[in-house]
Chain A
Amino acid sequence: MWRVGTVVALHDETATARTITLEVPDWPDHVAGQHVDVRLTASDGYSAVRSYSIASAPNSERRVELTVERLTNGEVSPYLTQQVAVGDRLELRGPIGRWFVWRTQQTEPIQLVAGGSGLVPLMAMIRSRAAAGSTAPFRLLYSVREPGAAFYRGELQALSDLDPSVTLTYAYTRAAPKDWPRPPGRIDATLIAHRTWPSNLVPTCYVCGPTSFVESVSSLLTASGNDPDKIRTERFGPTGERQ
């Protein structure tokens, strides 16, 4: 079932990523981690559908925020990040998915691992936790190319400052800030060992990012003693343009 949402706000997160806030009158509310399909239809009838994770926590205003990263050869993301204007209407299908979700009644330790724009559904979980007043301990390990590519930095810092049970670790892959303790590089076993929950606390892990990232992080989490059944994953890539 397709719904129509109206763009009510636009906010640039980075040079290539934009958050689109939609108001959807018949929105049935969502659970953190879910996504929507967005359908664009050209005047000749050609249409393209892409999946985007919901960034916002469930709310009573029937608002849905999507953060979309522009892909160089993308068919849909350049439009969503450069041309969409406040007042435009977009077709949506969703909310979709009941597996890669965090529910506010979960109390166990939560390990979030994001690669690039894979942070989006995990941010919905962090926002949902804050909105619900949950005390579930959260750790986020966020792998990002360089400091300027990080999403929601100020908000994440503020949430973490306010509540010590939310801890953040940035892992830069190409360029790190000056004096950063770790040279740029991918997430490795050492980082997993030092910056994620010990496996004996039996955290539920949510891993989202490009396919190669998800495969590598899931293997590292499993190797460090986490039960594969406690690792939930969501992959995106050029084929689905999921961001």
Chain B
Amino acid sequence: MSSHTDDYLDGNAAAGELSSIFAMDVTAAEGQCAHCGATKRFAEAHLYMQGPGLVARCAVCEHVLLRLVNARQRVFLDMRGMTRLILDTSQLQESSR
């Protein structure tokens, strides 16, 4: 089931916020949906930004992958919708990119 509304962006738009948490870029990371099992790049997730935080949903089944809320000097990160996130460590060796 994919959404036909266009009130979402994609994982690229969450990358700045997530860069303050993760040492590595998450857009190219592969995340597995805990609901349908699909493994997709995080950049492909559907991102909803209308609420007080960010909600990333699976591009295949629309179940929530990740929630992130910034409040009072704290970041609340809920990733229970992702079975795993695979990050490419080769980027750490590249000069500064």
Contacts and interface: CB of A to CB of B under 8 A. Distances in A.
Q: Do A and B bind?
A: yes
Contacts of A233: 10, 43-44
B6 A237 contact: yes
A100 B27 contact: yes
B97 A35 contact: no
A93 B19 contact: yes
A235 B16 contact: no
A62 to B, nearest CB: 12
Interface residues on A, range: 20 to 34
A29 B11 CA distance: 22
A228 B48 CA distance: 22
Contacts of A94: 16, 19
Contact of A98 (B13, B17, B28): B28
Given A93-B19, A98-B28, A99-B27, A210 B97 contact: no
Interface string B33-55: 00000000111100111100000
Interface in B1-44: 6-13, 15-17, 19-20, 25, 27-28, 41-44
Interface SS majority for chain B = mixed
B43 A232 contact: yes
A239 B50 contact: yes
B9 A239 contact: yes
B12 A100 contact: yes
Contact of A99 (B9, B41, B47): B41
Given A37-B16, A233-B44, A211 B27 contact: no
B71 to A, nearest CB: 14
Contacts of A211: 6-9
B96 A29 contact: yes
A235 B49 CA distance: 13
Contact of B16 (A29, A93, A212): A93
A235 B10 contact: yes
A242 B43 CA distance: 14
Interface string A12-37: 00000000000000001111000111
A108 interface: no
Contacts of A97: 12, 15, 25, 27-28, 43
Contacts of A232: 43
A99 B25 CA distance: 9
13 contacts: A49-B16, A51-B16, A93-B20, A94-B19, A98-B25, A98-B27, A98-B88, A99-B25, A99-B41, A211-B9, A236-B13, A237-B9, A242-B9
Interface of B: 6-13, 15-17, 19-20, 25, 27-28, 41-44, 47-50, 88, 91, 96-97
